[in-house]
Chain A
Amino acid sequence: MTTVAAPITVAPTAPPIIRQAGWAVTDSLVMAKRNLLVWSRVPAYIVFTIVQPVMFVLMFRYVFGGAIHVPVKGGYVSYLMPGIIGQTGAFASMGTAISLAQEVQKGAIDRFRSMPIARSAVLAGRLIADVVRMLITIVIVVGIGYAVGFRFQNGVGGAVCMVLLATGFGLAVCCISAFTGLAIRDEESVQAFGLIWLFPLTFVSSAFVPIQTMPSWLQVFARNQPITLIINAMRSFALGGPVAHALWTSLASIAGVLIFFLPLAVRAYRRTS
């Protein structure tokens, strides 16, 4: 009991800038570690993030796949996997909104704010954790894909580029999700409405079926919306084929989302107090 008695105070003087920048990084990593630890402890989260995409792979491969004809080497499973992986990246963001809304609701974010930790750490830690979680899920989904007949046809470089693009896309959706979670702040509402727009956007794209099979009025939208562009680029990375156009447009749309929604998320975070 000798060491705890005297209130030894942390020096109140401001530490140097470089030290503070270093802390901003370590604070974010500590927050990320905390978030991943929580994720690994809740079976429901694991089911939601990993089992669900695996179900999608199996369902589309074996249930719907037989009815969908694609002019792609390796058949439908080759066509499908980049789409599923893109969808996995996008849907991983659901957790971002829900967790942030939970933390606002129960006052955890306030508590962190009253501590001398980097202002950016809560948001950055959340995004880092979600990207890590997304990568784990993507690796598992690719593994399942291999088990059901999928093969990368464009070498290791292409495979890595595809995963990176999916992750970048997922991060962009996570920023939108972070904004909605912090703006709505109510867990149930976030769960119900937060990402409902993602469903039509991912299904009315080239992710699961060739766009040519859709009615012509829908094709106009499906062909030009960002998720199609991103999935097309991912598909070219995975299976070979011209990448350039789809890649630049998808990178531009990812950058656009980040530029627009990251500041919005930061602003919503500041306003939670």
Chain B
Amino acid sequence: MGGNGTGQSILVEGLEKRFGDVHALRGIDFAVPRGSVLGLLGPNGAGKTTAVRILTTLLTPDGGRAVVEGFDVVRDAAAVRRLLGLAGQSAAIQEELTGRENLEIIGRLYHLGRAEAGRRADELLERFDLAPAAHRPAKTYSGGMQRRLDLAASLVAHPAVLFLDEPTTGLDPRGRSGMWEVIRELVAQGTTLLLTTQYLEEADELADQIVVIDQGAVIAAGTSEQLKSKVGGDVVEFTVPDASRLGDAVAAVAGLTDGDPFTDQETGKVSVSIGDRGSEALIEVVRRLDAAAVEIAGLSLRRPSLDDVFLALTGHAAEESAATPGPPRRRGRRARQEAGA
């Protein structure tokens, strides 16, 4: 299939990209073994989409190189395009057309014959539970159905490598779990997958390997377990219902660990990394809060989540930085790509 025998389906070395003053990618490296799933994780503006746009031949890098199935994405762009599938935010879907028409047209654009394109469309509609809606305009579809149709469109030509750019952003929980199910099935069939997401849970659920990027640089890489072990043990989490006491609560538990406790101002949630001290630390937290006369709700001791990993790595939470866009936003497509969301 590919031109290289290394077993790497995607290889990225020292990849750099600038948009004016914005250094969207500052030399990132990663590799995706054939048949595996890589989760590219990071907040909005981290450079995830820029990396995907380079890998899918839509942007030319300013430095470094990217190779897909042995083909350089700049020099052999045409070959790379014949091997990849790209899906994400329903961009390929023409809402006025029916689900079947959408897939048929994509099939024709991949140079399938008329009959073959129709056959492939039916097959994919069946597989993604869209057959009952095949003859309805796509604009009548739910968000989850549109994403599934978009994903189906990216699979028309049996791509060897699939890129999913934030496949569940904006979906409700039901739509999201539906998408996950479909993606898991694909992966089980051996497709190499690169997935970008701002949801730690999503990377945890789907990816074999996770690369965390922030502000255009790789800040961590490994399996979900490896990343979690970086946080170094368990987390005590509690909620302070009275927002005015949040500061007191943090001050009370601050001395417990090396790192600062993380607070979420909006929900009043406080997380404290306690290493391997388990229930002993839990009791200490309760004692200190009691001494400070802070009332709490929902106290728990849990294994670290990728949220905690992100916090430990970047010093800020994934959602927090997702809410504060880096470069100023301008209207339209250009602003989005320059932000490298």
Could you tell me the distance between the alpha carbons of A30 and B107 in the complex, rounded to whole angstroms?
10
| Residues of chain B contacted by A244 (CB below 8 angstroms) | none
Report if A17 contacts B (CB, 8 A).
no
Report if A23 contacts B (CB, 8 A).
yes
| Residues of chain A contacted by B189 (CB below 8 angstroms) | 4-7
Residue among A34, A104, A113, A186 making CB contact with B97, cutoff 8 Å:
A34
Query: What is the CB-to-nearest-CB distance from A137 to chain B, in angstroms, rounded to a whole number?
Result: 19
Question: Using a CB-CB cutoff of 8 Å, which residues 28-49 of chain A contact chain B?
Answer: 30-31, 33-34, 37-38, 41-42
Interface string of B1-19 (1 = CB under 8 A from A): 1110000000000000000
Could you tell me the distance between the alpha carbons of A113 and B240 in the complex, rounded to whole angstroms?
51
Say yes or no: B97 contacts A41, CB within 8 Å. Answer: yes
Residue with the greatest number of chain B CB neighbours at <10 A, chosen from A12, A33, A110? A12
Could you tell me the distance between the alpha carbons of A114 and B56 in the complex, rounded to whole angstroms?
6
Residue among B69, B89, B96, B331 making CB contact with A12, cutoff 8 Å:
B69
The size of the chain B interface, using a CB distance under 8 A, is 44
Query: What is the CB-to-nearest-CB distance from B336 to chain A, in angstroms, rounded to a whole number?
Result: 9
Report if A106 contacts B (CB, 8 A).
yes
Query: What is the CB-to-nearest-CB distance from A117 to chain B, in angstroms, rounded to a whole number?
Result: 5
Interface string of A248-273 (1 = CB under 8 A from B): 00000000000000000000000011
Determine, out of B37-45, B76-84, B194-202, the stretch whose residues face the partner at the interface.
Answer: B76-84
Residue with the greatest number of chain A CB neighbours at <10 A, chosen from B79, B89, B127, B190? B79
| Residues of chain A contacted by B92 (CB below 8 angstroms) | 108, 111
Known: A112-B109, A117-B109, A185-B333. A38 touches B94 (CB 8 A): yes
| Residues of chain A contacted by B191 (CB below 8 angstroms) | 7
Determine, out of B157-165, B283-291, B298-306, B311-319, the stretch whose residues face the partner at the interface.
Answer: B157-165
Report if A107 contacts B (CB, 8 A).
yes
Query: What is the CB-to-nearest-CB distance from B338 to chain A, in angstroms, rounded to a whole number?
Result: 12
Could you tell me the distance between the alpha carbons of A97 and B256 in the complex, rounded to whole angstroms?
62
Interface string of A103-127 (1 = CB under 8 A from B): 0111110111111110001000000
Report if B123 contacts A (CB, 8 A).
yes
Say yes or no: A114 contacts B81, CB within 8 Å. Answer: yes
Question: Using a CB-CB cutoff of 8 Å, which residues 229-258 of chain A contact chain B?
Answer: none
Report if A67 contacts B (CB, 8 A).
no
Report if A8 contacts B (CB, 8 A).
yes
Could you tell me the distance between the alpha carbons of A8 and B112 in the complex, rounded to whole angstroms?
14
Interface of B is mostly: loop
Known: A9-B158, A11-B82. A37 touches B332 (CB 8 A): no
Say yes or no: A115 contacts B108, CB within 8 Å. Answer: no
Say yes or no: B109 contacts A115, CB within 8 Å. Answer: yes
By beta carbon, the residue of chain B nearest A118 is: B109
Query: What is the CB-to-nearest-CB distance from B99 to chain A, in angstroms, rounded to a whole number?
Result: 14
By beta carbon, the residue of chain B nearest A9 is: B160
Say yes or no: B111 contacts A23, CB within 8 Å. Answer: yes
| Residues of chain A contacted by B56 (CB below 8 angstroms) | 114
Question: Using a CB-CB cutoff of 8 Å, which residues 61-85 of chain B contact chain A?
Answer: 69, 71, 78-79, 81-84
Interface string of B213-235 (1 = CB under 8 A from A): 00000000000000000000000
Report if B59 contacts A (CB, 8 A).
yes
Known: A106-B91, A113-B58. A12 touches B97 (CB 8 A): no
Binding site for A on B (CB under 8 A): 1-3, 53, 56-59, 69, 71, 78-79, 81-84, 86, 89, 91-92, 94, 96-97, 101, 105-106, 108-111, 123, 127, 137, 157-160, 189-191, 331-334
The contact sample of 5 A-B pairs, CB cut-off 8 A, is A12-B2, A27-B109, A41-B96, A41-B137, A104-B332
Binding site for B on A (CB under 8 A): 1, 3-14, 23, 26-27, 30-31, 33-34, 37-38, 41-42, 104-108, 110-117, 121, 185-186, 272-273
